[in-house]
Amino acid sequence: MFVGHFAVGLAGKRAAPRVSLGTWFLAVQFLDLLWPVFLLLDWEHVRVTPGYTRLSPLDFYDYPLSHSLLAAVFWSALFAAVWAVLRRGRPGRLRIGLLLGAGVLSHWVLDFLTHRPDLPLLPKMGPYAGLGLWDHPALAIALEGGLYALGIFLYVRSTRARDTAGRAGLWALLLLLLGLWLASAFGPPPEEDTPIAWATLSLWLVVFPWAGWVDRHREIGP
């Protein structure tokens, strides 16, 4: 899943409006931020097998540290705890920390819908879970596209642009994510291991600051 994760981040802004969209995106994509790092460290592995699922050629045969359920719970708790510590003394920090932690965990739940049963509940030993929606392209695209549209609607309803950057910057970012999603679904399969890791990592290094920048050019309110 790709834009579906960002949809949760966009919707999160409504639940906790004082949290930047950049932070929300970081939370919902935290597991996919760790993943390329772990690939580069050779701690996790992926291979490209065209036709592996009808929508994605990525065979995630080994990603216990970023994508097992136990690890996802751990990263969620860590994210919530770090947030609560960094925001010491501010009202609502526990509630917001828990919301962000839930955002981290939502990543696993959405991946569970689309992936083949390749998500281990426990690292290295399974059992493995996944409903495999990627083998039902029309359903997968309708669900994910619908989630994305809903997320955008909620974000745009709960913030308003202060200036052109807040308006054009937002739509440019949303279109970029949409384009990347469609390219990954309908474009040629990516190259093996390392380019995937670098591409994913460099993408995140652009997306999170961009979302934070857009968010600073918008204010809370309809």
Kindly list the residues in this chain that would bind Zn ion in the complex (CB under 5 A).
32, 111
With respect to Zn ion, which residue has the nearer C-beta, 41 or 220?
Answer: 41
CB 186, min distance to Zn ion, A: 20
Of 27, 129, 150, the closest CA to residue 79 belongs to 27
Integer Cα distance of 46 and 107 in angstroms: 18
CB 31, min distance to Zn ion, A: 5
With respect to Zn ion, which residue has the nearer C-beta, 32 or 44?
Answer: 32
The amino acid at 89: G
R_g (Cα) of the chain, nearest Å = 17
C-alpha 9, offset from chain centre: 8
With respect to Zn ion, which residue has the nearer C-beta, 24 or 214?
Answer: 24
Give the CA diameter of the chain. Answer: 52
Pairing of strands 58-62, 159-161: unpaired
With respect to Zn ion, which residue has the nearer C-beta, 158 or 184?
Answer: 184
Q: Which long-range contacts (CB under 8 A, 24 or more apart) does 126-129 make?
A: 129/69
CB 114, min distance to Zn ion, A: 9
- If one counts every other C-beta atom within 10 angstroms of the C-beta of residue 213, the result is 17
With respect to Zn ion, which residue has the nearer C-beta, 109 or 168?
Answer: 109
- Helix axis angle for 193-216 and 164-186, nearest 10°, is 160
CB 125, min distance to Zn ion, A: 20
With respect to Zn ion, which residue has the nearer C-beta, 113 or 165?
Answer: 113
E-strand stretches of the chain: 45-48, 58-62, 119-122, 126-129, 159-161, 218-220
CB 66, min distance to Zn ion, A: 7
CB 2, min distance to Zn ion, A: 9
